[in-house]
Chains A and B, each alone.
Chain A
Amino acid sequence: MRMDSAVADRLTAIVLFLIGLASTWGGFVMDRLEIRQIHPASIPGLVPMILGFALMICAGALAWSARTPRGDAAANPNTSASAFAVTLVWSALYALVAVGNMPFAIATMIYVAGFTLWFLWAENGQRPDPIKIILVVVFSIAIAIGISVLFRDGFLVRLP
Chain B
Amino acid sequence: MMDGLTQFFGAIGELTTPMSLFHVAWATLLGIIVGSLPGLTATMGVALLTTLTYSLDRDAAILSLICMYVGAIYGGSRSAILLNIPGTPASAATSLDGYPLARQGKAAYAMGLATAGSALGTLVGILLLVMIAPPLAEIALDFGSFEFFWLAVFGIVISGQLTGGISPLKGYIAGILGLMIAMIGSDGIHAHIRFTMGFDTLNGGIGLIPAMVGAFGFAEILTVMWQPKGAMIEEKKGHDRTLPRLLDLWRYKFTIVRSGIIGTLVGIIPGVGEDIGAWSSYAAAKKFSPERGKFGKGSTEGLTAAETGNSAVVPGSLIPALTLAVPGSASAAVLIAALFIHGVRPGPMIMLEAPEFVYLIAAMLLFATIAILIYGLTLTRFFILVLKIPREWLMPVIFVLCVIGPYALTQRIFEIWVMFGFGFFGFLLRQMNYPMAPLVLGIILGDLLDKSLRRGLTLSDGQIEPFLTRPISAVFAAIVVLSIVSGLPPVRRATSRLITRTTGGGPD
If the complex has contacts A41-B458, A96-B417, are A19 and B403 also in contact, measured as CB distance less than 8 A? no
Chain B residues lying within 8 Å of A143, measured Cβ to Cβ, are 396-397, 400
B466, chain A: closest CB distance, angstroms: 12
How many Å lie between the Cα of A52 and that of B195 in the bound state? Answer: 13
**In terms of DSSP, what is the predominant structure of the interface of chain A?**
helix
How many Å lie between the Cα of A3 and that of B424 in the bound state? Answer: 14
How many Å lie between the Cα of A9 and that of B441 in the bound state? Answer: 23
Residues B393 and A139 in contact, CB atoms below 8 Å apart: yes
Chain B residues lying within 8 Å of A59, measured Cβ to Cβ, are 173
How many Å lie between the Cα of A54 and that of B195 in the bound state? Answer: 18
Residues B401 and A147 in contact, CB atoms below 8 Å apart: yes
Binds A, one of B64-72, B78-86, B183-191: B183-191
A98, chain B: closest CB distance, angstroms: 10
Residues B411 and A31 in contact, CB atoms below 8 Å apart: no
Residues A39 and B403 in contact, CB atoms below 8 Å apart: no
How many Å lie between the Cα of A79 and that of B228 in the bound state? Answer: 6
Residues B176 and A54 in contact, CB atoms below 8 Å apart: yes
> B residues 424-443 with Cβ under 8 Å of A?
424, 428, 431-433
How many Å lie between the Cα of A46 and that of B218 in the bound state? Answer: 34
If the complex has contacts A151-B408, A155-B52, are A36 and B395 also in contact, measured as CB distance less than 8 A? no
Q: Which residue of B lies closest to A96 (CB)?
A: B420
Residues B458 and A44 in contact, CB atoms below 8 Å apart: no
Task: Return the contact of A88 from the options B55, B222, B391, B400 (Cβ within 8 A).
Answer: B222
**In terms of DSSP, what is the predominant structure of the interface of chain B?**
helix
Chain B residues lying within 8 Å of A147, measured Cβ to Cβ, are 400-401, 404
How many Å lie between the Cα of A56 and that of B190 in the bound state? Answer: 27
Chain A residues lying within 8 Å of B395, measured Cβ to Cβ, are 87, 115
Binds A, one of B253-261, B271-279, B305-313, B447-455: B447-455
How many Å lie between the Cα of A140 and that of B226 in the bound state? Answer: 23
B386, chain A: closest CB distance, angstroms: 17
Chain B residues lying within 8 Å of A154, measured Cβ to Cβ, are 55
Residues B172 and A99 in contact, CB atoms below 8 Å apart: no
How many Å lie between the Cα of A3 and that of B223 in the bound state? Answer: 13
A25, chain B: closest CB distance, angstroms: 11
Residues A31 and B192 in contact, CB atoms below 8 Å apart: yes
Bin the interface of chain A by size: 35 or more
Chain A residues lying within 8 Å of B396, measured Cβ to Cβ, are 111-112, 115-116, 140, 143
Chain A residues lying within 8 Å of B55, measured Cβ to Cβ, are 154-156
Chain A residues lying within 8 Å of B180, measured Cβ to Cβ, are 19, 23, 48, 51-52, 55
Q: Which residue of B lies closest to A31 (CB)?
A: B192
Residues A48 and B183 in contact, CB atoms below 8 Å apart: yes
If the complex has contacts A8-B432, A79-B226, A88-B222, are A58 and B404 also in contact, measured as CB distance less than 8 A? no
B375 within 8 A of A: no
Residues B432 and A80 in contact, CB atoms below 8 Å apart: no
Residues A99 and B416 in contact, CB atoms below 8 Å apart: yes
Q: Interface centre among B195, B222, B396, by most A CB within 10 Å?
A: B396
How many Å lie between the Cα of A43 and that of B393 in the bound state? Answer: 52
If the complex has contacts A51-B176, A55-B176, A155-B55, are A111 and B400 also in contact, measured as CB distance less than 8 A? yes
How many Å lie between the Cα of A19 and that of B425 in the bound state? Answer: 15
Residues A39 and B416 in contact, CB atoms below 8 Å apart: no
Q: Which residue of A lies closest to B180 (CB)?
A: A51
B397, chain A: closest CB distance, angstroms: 6
Chain A residues lying within 8 Å of B225, measured Cβ to Cβ, are 80, 83-84, 86-87
Q: Which residue of B lies closest to A119 (CB)?
A: B392
Chain A residues lying within 8 Å of B195, measured Cβ to Cβ, are 26, 48
Chain B residues lying within 8 Å of A126, measured Cβ to Cβ, are none
> A residues 5-61 with Cβ under 8 Å of B?
8-9, 12, 16, 19, 23, 26, 30-31, 33, 36, 38-48, 51-52, 54-55, 58-59, 61
How many Å lie between the Cα of A154 and that of B54 in the bound state? Answer: 10
Interface string of B162-195 (1 = CB under 8 A from A): 0000010110110011011001000101101011
Closest 4 CB pairs of A and B: A119-B392, A41-B457, A3-B431, A115-B396
List 13 extra interface pairs beyond A30-B192, A41-B457, A91-B399, CB under 8 A.
A3-B428, A19-B180, A39-B458, A47-B450, A48-B180, A51-B183, A54-B176, A87-B395, A95-B399, A95-B416, A99-B413, A111-B399, A143-B400
16 A-B pairs with CB atoms under 8 Å apart are A30-B192, A42-B457, A42-B458, A48-B183, A51-B180, A52-B180, A55-B177, A84-B225, A87-B221, A94-B403, A95-B419, A111-B400, A112-B396, A119-B391, A143-B400, A157-B408
